Structure 1
Amino acid sequence: MEIIEHSLKGIKVAEVISNEIIIQNLEDAIDLMGNIYYQGFDKLILYQKNITADFFDLKTKLAGDILQKFAQYQLPLIIIGDFSIYSSKSLNDFIYESNQGRQVRFQSSLNEALNVL
C-alpha cells in the first residue's frame, strides 16, 4: 500500500494506492482511518477495487457500518471507480444521496475527486 499526498487549499488529502483489497471488513476500515489520521491527513481517497465487493451490496450493511465510522471520526472519504457496473437501484440511490453531501463521495476519476475537494 502506498499513500500519495495531495495538498489543496491547505487540506492534506491521502490517496491510497494498492493492487490488493485493503478493506475487507469494518476492522480494516478502522485501522486505515487510524493510520491516515495519525499521519495528519484531513481527507481520504480510496479506489473501488481496494474495497471488498460486499461493501457495494447494501444488504450486508458493511457500507453503512464503515461510512458511519468515517462520519463519526470526521474523516471525509472519496471512493473512485466505475459504479455503473452495479444494477442495484438502492445502491445507485445511496451513491446519489452520498454525492449530495460532503462526508462521502463517489467519483469516476481522480480529477473529479480532486475537483470536489
Structure 2
Amino acid sequence: MPDLLVEHHGVPVLACSGEGPAIATVQDALDHLIGPAFQGAEVVAVPAERLDDRFFDLSTGVAGAILQKFSNYRLRLVVVGDIARHLAASAALPDLVREANRGRDIWFVADLDDLAARLA
C-alpha cells in the first residue's frame, strides 16, 4: 500500500504505509517522510514499525535529530501504533510521549482513528 495524502477535519495528513522503508537516520526521515510531505501535508503519520528501534532509545539522539527536522520544516509528526515494548524498556521515553501528547506538534497515537479524533 502506498503512502496516501488524506484529510482529517480539514488537516492534510500524509498517512505513511507500514510497508515503506525503515526510518533509521535523519536522511531517511528527509527522504521518506519529510520530502513526500511536500505534496501538501501538514501532518506526517508514520507507523511505529517503520521507525528503527534506535528512534525509541532516546540516548542515541536519533529521535531528537528527526524531531528537530520536523520542527525545522514546520511539519507535525504522529507516530501511529503500539510502542508498549519501547515504553517498558525506557525510563525517559514515557516522559517524552506524555509531554509530546500534551502539545500539538508531535503525537503518539494508537491508530489513525485516534489521530482523526485528535485533529477534530
Structure 1 length-normalised TM: 0.91
Seen in structure 2, the aligned counterparts of structure 1 residues 6 and 20 have a Cα distance that, compared at 3 Å, is closer
Aligned partner of 2:109 in structure 1 is: 107
**Pairs within 5 Å for 1:66-105:** 66-86=66-86, 87=88, 88-105=90-107
The answer for unaligned runs of 5 or more in structure 1 is: none
Q: Report whether the alignment pairs 1:50 with 2:50.
A: yes
What does residue 8 of structure 2 align with? 8
- Aligned partner letter, 1:36: A
Contact 1:21 1:49 in 2 (8 A): no
Note the residue ranges of structure 2 that are not aligned, 5 or more in a row.
none
CA distance in 2, matches of 1:35, 1:102: 21
Work out the CA distance in 2 between the residues paired with 1:72 and 1:5: 21
Distance in 1 (CA, whole Å) between partners of 2:36 and 2:60 is: 25
Distance 1:18 1:82, change over 3 A: closer
Q: 2:23 corresponds to which residue? A: 23
- 1:63 CA drift (Å): 0.2
Which one is further off, 42-51 or 77-86? 77-86
Once the two structures are TM-superposed, the CA of residue 29 in structure 1 deviates from its matched residue by 0.6
TM-score (structure 2 length as normaliser)? 0.89
Give the secondary-structure state (helix, strand or coil) at the position aligned to 1:2: coil
Once the 2 structures are TM-superposed, how far is the Cα of residue 52 of structure 1 from its aligned partner?
0.5
Instruction: For 2:98 and 2:78, locate their aligned partners in 1 and report how far apart those are by CA, in whole Å.
Output: 13
Q: Which ranges of 4 or more aligned residues in structure 1 deviate by more than 4 Å?
A: none
Q: Deviations over 1:56-98 (max 9, x none)?
A: 0001000000001101111001101212212212011111111
